[in-house]
Amino acid sequence: MAKPKFLQCAVCGNQQPYEPFVPAICKKCESQWLEASYDYETFKRDILRGLPGRPTNMWRFQDVLPLSDPSALDLYPAGGTPLWLSQRFAPKLGHDRVYFKDERYGPTSSFKDRQAAVAVAAMNEGGVREAVIASTGNAAVAFAAACARAGSNFGFL
């Protein structure tokens, strides 16, 4: 159920169907600024119930990720990293509480694990077995780990 209901152009407001692996370009004005619109009302009801029976990692929110059937995939366990309450920074920043998201607990200790997990899962679901990404470091490591988990062969630059 996670496919977007439609894509909406941020420039002209045009709505068009989501098509996996088709470049996201507005068919009316050719802008590349398209936003995916999901069935947020259904997802909101599930969130308010606490998402029972869901994984504790990012796949907990699979309803708003671009996969048709996440249960059919061996998903890379990204996300679900802890939030730490800062005792020192909240007063300095003028807030009651400030939390830090600690991504060191991800599979490669990088926030790039999340994008790698979704991208590799979507590529696998779409039958894509080869891809190339540009990276200066941690994205390449995250994609390599996600690909290894998925058994895919991808190239890195």
**Site of interaction with Zn ion (CB under 5 A):** 9, 11-12, 14, 26, 28-29, 31
C-alpha distances out from residue 40 to 6, 37, 47, 63, Å = 12, 8, 10, 9
Query: How far apart are CB 34 and Zn ion at their closest, in Å?
Result: 8
| Residues 38, 42, 47: CA angle, nearest 5 degrees | 105
How far apart (Å, rounded) are the C-alpha atoms in residues 66 and 57?
16
CB of 29 to Zn ion, least distance (A): 3
Q: How many CB atoms are located within 10 Å of the residue 14 CB?
A: 16
Tokens of 52: 């029972």
Q: 117: alpha, beta or left, given left = phi > 0 and alpha = psi -120 to 50?
A: alpha
In terms of CB distance, is 29 or 85 closer to Zn ion? 29
For the bound state, the minimum distance from the C-beta of residue 37 to Zn ion, rounded and expressed in Å, comes to 14
Q: Which is nearer to Zn ion, 9 or 123 (CB)?
A: 9
Q: Which CB sits closer to Zn ion, 28 or 101?
A: 28
Q: Which is nearer to Zn ion, 26 or 146 (CB)?
A: 26
CB of 4 to Zn ion, least distance (A): 16
